[in-house]
Amino acid sequence: MRVLLVEDDATLSEAVCGYLRAKAFVVDACGSLAQASAALHSAQYAAVLLDLHLGDGDGLALLPQIRAIKERPIVIVLTARDQVTDRIRGLDAGADDYLIKPYDPGELLARLRAVERRRSAASAPIIELGDLQIDLSHELVRRNGVPVALTQKEWSLLRVMATRPDRIHTRENLQDALYGFDDEADSNTLEVFVSRLRRKLGRNHIQTLRGLGYRLVNAVGDDE
């Protein structure tokens, strides 16, 4: 899951980023509304962790832009404002959840997973492609009924393709799921992960469209 953290407290931002990255999340951090707006135009995020009290305005001002995104990310508001009216205002403006500072990073992680499970279950709890069953809400993959063990990076890549099967995904789109702005990746890293998925899922399930990208399809998953 690629996450955008909008937080102007540098110490807190560093701590949250470190915690989530250790849990295999891809995290981009910014400290202002302007930076957050630019980031939302540059990458596709599964979740936005949004502080309200920012140097250049109220974090809620970002919500109309987020609501306009076709594949809208989860929004969890993180703030020191503990008044019920503030929480209601945030939720009514389009936030999915609300967490009051100071908060435990473990609770933030649990809320991220809970909201994602609710969304996945509502949209496509189980995707069937030939001999594959992909359960997005529980992060489980089965091939011919047998569970397939995936690393977090492999799962991140598969999630992007599985939520939009038969669509062509560009290299840039798939790399967004694997790496943040500050991460460095070798030019062939994406191909390495695609190759690993093919070995586990069956090579015919992932098509390469030269010059365009990759596509997950309904096929018989032959072994490589």
Is-contact 143 131, C-beta < 8 A? yes
- C-alpha gyration radius of the chain: 18
Residue of higher predicted confidence among 31 and 82: 31
**Cα–Cα distance between 162 and 90 in angstroms, integer?**
31
pTM score, whole prediction = 0.64
13-22, 49-58, 166-175: the lowest-pLDDT one: 166-175
> What's the Cα-to-Cα distance from 97 to each of 17, 36, 74, 112, rounded to whole Å?
19, 19, 9, 9
What's the confidence (pLDDT) of residue 187? 57
Confidence of residue 152 (pLDDT cuts 50, 70, 90): confident
- Is pLDDT at 39 greater than 90 in this prediction? yes
DSSP per-residue string spanning 185-224 = --TTHHHHHHHHHHHHH-GGGEEEETTTEEEE--------
69-78, 136-145, 192-201, 212-221: the lowest-pLDDT one: 212-221
Confidence of residue 36 (pLDDT cuts 50, 70, 90): very high
185's tokens: 């990746």
Which pLDDT tens digit goes with each residue over 133-146?
A: 988 777 889 999 99
Helix or strand holding residue 142 (H, E)? strand 140-143
Residue of higher predicted confidence among 200 and 189: 200
Mean model confidence pLDDT for the chain? 84
Confidence of residue 28 (pLDDT cuts 50, 70, 90): very high
**Cα–Cα distance between 172 and 104 in angstroms, integer?**
33
Which pLDDT tens digit goes with each residue over 72-107?
A: 898 999 888 667 777 777 788 888 888 888 888 889
**Cα–Cα distance between 210 and 196 in angstroms, integer?**
19
Is-contact 137 113, C-beta < 8 A? no
The terminus-to-terminus CA distance of the chain in angstroms comes to: 28
Helix or strand holding residue 86 (H, E)? helix 84-92
Which pLDDT tens digit goes with each residue over 157-172?
A: 888 888 777 788 888 8
**Helical packing angle, 152-162 and 171-178, nearest 10°:** 140
150's tokens: 């995936």
Cis ω before 102 (30° cut-off from 0): yes
**Cα–Cα distance between 218 and 130 in angstroms, integer?**
5
Is-contact 201 221, C-beta < 8 A? yes
Give the pLDDT mean for 47-53: 91
Residue of higher predicted confidence among 131 and 116: 131
What's the confidence (pLDDT) of residue 130? 86
- Is pLDDT at 124 greater than 70 in this prediction? no
What's the confidence (pLDDT) of residue 224? 44
Q: Are strands 47-51 and 74-79 parallel, antiparallel or unpaired?
A: parallel
Give the pLDDT mean for 214-220: 81
